[in-house]
Amino acid sequence: MKHIRFTDSLLRQASKGSFICRDIVVPQLQFRPAKLHGKVGYFHCLYSESGISTSKALGEYPIVGLQEVRKQARKWLVEQHAKRYKISSVERFTSVGELLDWYQSNIAQQELNSFRTIKNKSHRVESLLLPFLSDIDVSDCSSQLLDKAWLRPLNDRFSPSTLRGAFQTLKAAFKQAHGLRYIAENPLSDLNFIMLLPASIKPKRAALAGLTLNEVIKQFQHFSAPDRFLCLLCLGFLTRNTETVMARWRDFNTDQMSWNIPGEHTKTGAALTLPLSTHSLKWLSDYKRQQRRYCRSRFLFPVKQGRSGWSSSYAAQRIMKASKGKFTLHDLRKYGSTYLRDSGVDYYLVERLLNHKKTHLDATYIHTTLRAPLMEVIECWHRNINEIYKISM
């Protein structure tokens, strides 16, 4: 079975070739070619838990479009996961096990949680919390008890960051139960993870930290044209791997000088529009001219004959191989954001370029008022890059 990123052209190829394939975006989504003449194929969603599998037909392609079927698949997966849990009828929780079982059923019923979020929290509860705390009374839960019954048995088996994530899930469960009056008091309200494990959890050091811009660009100037241009875009626009590698030529509006990244390509799910500088227009023009020498594709980073684009994992592997493990695409993004902040660029403008999740305060800003200051930042940043980039090329 092939794992591909579903596109209209690839699904038609799969139908002609009569092979079943799965989507990279939603791995549980499956396409099955039709056996009847005149039909293309059908979408099915697969769900497996504890050795038990089930599936659901989501519709016929192309009557049901890709965007709609992915939305249906995610919703059905969340519903299937929620069926594992029963809503608790207990008015007061006496044990931590009861509380965590209720919390699992609660998060599984919330539509705002993505399927990945639900699975991650369920894993923490089932594998890292319940086996050690299920029989403990809620009122007995204290820092001393957590240290003896939970932290010490797991400290040698898991990293501090993993244990911190499990503790945050535990604390969130207690906070929610207390807010809904399922427990009289919250014994964890004043407890922080650092009290249990004083060792600091240091973030991973950026691979390019401390280098000059000239030294950073020299790191990828010898790469092949596609790899080099991918690095240039990630550095120049602070975009993520997926946001960059899935770009199509039609996403770039040279008349309005903007790069439109659709919501399905972003981590936050929110569409992003980035201004194009005069220098980036030249970069795009030169790269497109190079690409046309060996293929014509709607993708910036095409595979083989140009019928499909790179996946984010394939792009990451290429850059890791080309750099010999010295840096990743995310390191370029981090370097660019640090460079801009150190140069005095407004924090909010850098956040918008990074496309971090908006807060309630961010939502009050009018998008059109940001274009002018963002364009000024991008133009200046790209001018600095171009002075080095054109010399090194």
DSSP 129-149: IHHHHTTSBGGG--HHHHIII
Residue 308, pLDDT score: 82
Alpha carbons 88 and 285: distance in angstroms, whole number? 61
Query: For residues 364 and 161, which has the higher predicted lDDT (pLDDT)?
Result: 161
Question: What tokens were used for 367?
Answer: 């998008």
Residue 22, pLDDT score: 87
- Set out the domains of the chain in order of their start, with CATH numbers: 2-83 (3.30.160.390), 96-195 (1.10.150), 213-392 (1.10.443.10)
pLDDT digits (tens, 9 = 90+) for 65-102: 888 888 888 888 877 776 665 555 567 888 999 899 88
Task: Place 366 in a pLDDT band, splitting at 50, 70 and 90.
Answer: very low
Report whether pLDDT(392) > 50: no
Report whether pLDDT(376) > 70: yes
Closest of 324, 326, 303 to residue 314, by C-alpha: 303
- From the CA atom positions of the chain, what is the Rg in Å? 25
Task: Place 188 in a pLDDT band, splitting at 50, 70 and 90.
Answer: very high
Helix (H) or strand (E) holding 104: helix 96-109
Query: What would the mean pLDDT of 111-118 be, rounded to a whole number?
Result: 60
* Helix axis angle, 213-220 to 225-237, nearest 10°: 150
CB burial of 274-309 (b: ≥16 within 10 Å; e: otherwise) equals: bbbbebbeebbeebeeebeeeeebebbbbeeeeebb
pLDDT digits (tens, 9 = 90+) for 12-62: 888 887 788 888 878 889 999 888 877 889 999 988 876 778 889 998 888
pLDDT digits (tens, 9 = 90+) for 83-93: 665 555 567 88
Residue 220, pLDDT score: 94
Task: Please tell me what DSSP assigns to residue 126.
Answer: I
- Of 129-138, 262-271, 272-281, the least confident: 262-271
Closest of 171, 168, 170, 163 to residue 197, by C-alpha: 163
